[in-house]
């Protein structure tokens, strides 16, 4: 993922709500959201180039989502794929979120720069490895994660978090306001743009929640809702070059 908003233990029905966009090159081979036969129980899309996934849930209501870090000067590590990080937590042998996060810190430098968020019934944990190793337990509330890090105030992250906050203050079950926020193509004002070292023109192009382009853009929008009993769903909308809609899939985790 490249943009994520999370409501953790603030909604009257849902223990965790998540909305996010995966931005990627359209040529990168990807399988749509599906129930994985192995590791059993995972519901996620699949990266067919390096393996793993960017976001997923499993039958007990665990959730994991990973982003890369936008830093052109960061060293690329020829180690395991970052897509293995969500799978490592979601697979059946994983420990609880807090322990898994602590254990992961020992090998976090083996991966190219990442931000990882994992959650189970008891806790929501953030782990990052760039520019420094970091682990924190997330307090209940509305939080954002992007290629800039966790709770970094990029304009598109703030807008998505505000949409999540408004929706979380109601008992509504229709997530249409979140889909609308994920489809937002507004470009941030130059004065609000971060400086991540990619140049002003590219910063502008990457500043909208939904990125439309022939080569690179938003490939998938995802919404996850898990209730306080661990039951819920993951829903994915997929897009091709120039933002052409390619399909939608929703899977519950109690089947």
- Residues with Cβ within 8 Å of residue 102, at least 6 apart in sequence: 135
Say if CB 150 and CB 128 are below 8 A apart. Answer: yes
User: What percentage of the chain has pLDDT greater than the value 90?
Assistant: 89
Task: Tell me the C-alpha distance between 106 and 98, whole Å.
Answer: 14
Among the listed residues 170, 183, 168, the one whose alpha carbon sits nearest the alpha carbon of residue 222: 183
Task: Tell me the C-alpha distance between 238 and 210, whole Å.
Answer: 12
Site of tokens 């399909």: 247
Task: Tell me the C-alpha distance between 21 and 10, whole Å.
Answer: 22
Residue 222: C-alpha distances to residues 44, 154, 245 (Å): 10, 20, 14
Q: Give pLDDT, residue 255.
A: 65
What's the mean pLDDT when you consider all of the chain?
95
Task: Tell me the C-alpha distance between 121 and 111, whole Å.
Answer: 27
> What would the pLDDT profile of 57-98 be if each residue is shown by its tens digit?
999 999 999 999 999 888 777 889 999 999 999 997 768 999
The length of the chain is 255
User: What percentage of the chain has pLDDT greater than the value 70?
Assistant: 99
Domain of 242 in residue numbering reads as 3-252
The three-state secondary structure class of 72 is coil
Q: How many domains does the chain have?
A: 1
- Written as six digits, the tokens of 199 are 């140049």
> What would the pLDDT profile of 117-165 be if each residue is shown by its tens digit?
999 999 999 999 999 999 999 999 999 999 999 999 999 999 999 999 9
> What's the pTM?
0.96
Say if CB 161 and CB 178 are below 8 A apart. Answer: no
Q: Give pLDDT, residue 113.
A: 95
Say if CB 219 and CB 29 are below 8 A apart. Answer: no
> What would the pLDDT profile of 13-37 be if each residue is shown by its tens digit?
999 999 999 999 999 999 999 999 9
Q: What is the CATH number of the domain that holds 195?
A: 3.60.60.10
Task: Tell me the C-alpha distance between 51 and 84, whole Å.
Answer: 7
> What would the pLDDT profile of 100-110 be if each residue is shown by its tens digit?
999 999 999 99
Q: Give pLDDT, residue 58.
A: 96
* Least confident range of 167-171, 186-190, 218-222: 167-171
């Amino acid at each position: 993922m490249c943009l994520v908003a999370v409501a953790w233990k603030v909604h009257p029905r849902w223990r965790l709500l998540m909305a996010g966009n995966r931005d990627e090159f359209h040529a990168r081979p990807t399988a749509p959201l599906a129930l994985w036969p192995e590791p059993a129980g995972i519901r996620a899309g699949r990266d067919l180039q390096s393996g793993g996934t960017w976001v997923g849930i499993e039958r007990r209501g665990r959730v994991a989502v990973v982003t890369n870090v936008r830093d052109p000067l960061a060293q690329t590590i020829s180690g395991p794929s970052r897509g293995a990080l969500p799978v490592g937590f979601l697979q059946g042998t994983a420990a609880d979120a807090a322990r898994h996060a602590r254990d992961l810190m020992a090998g976090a430098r083996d991966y190219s720069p990442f931000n990882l968020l994992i959650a189970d019934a008891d806790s929501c944990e953030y782990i990052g490895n760039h520019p420094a190793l970091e682990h924190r337990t997330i307090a209940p509330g509305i939080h954002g994660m992007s290629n800039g890090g966790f709770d970094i105030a990029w304009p598109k992250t703030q807008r998505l978090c505000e949409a999540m906050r408004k929706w979380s203050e109601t008992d509504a079950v229709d997530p249409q306001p979140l889909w609308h926020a994920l489809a937002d193509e507004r470009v941030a004002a130059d004065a609000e743009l971060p400086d991540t070292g990619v140049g002003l023109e590219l910063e502008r192009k990457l500043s909208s929640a939904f990125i439309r382009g022939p080569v690179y853009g938003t490939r998938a929008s995802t919404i996850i809702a898990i209730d306080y009993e661990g039951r819920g769903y993951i829903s994915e909308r997929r897009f091709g070059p120039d933002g052409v809609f390619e399909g939608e899939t929703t899977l519950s985790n109690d089947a």
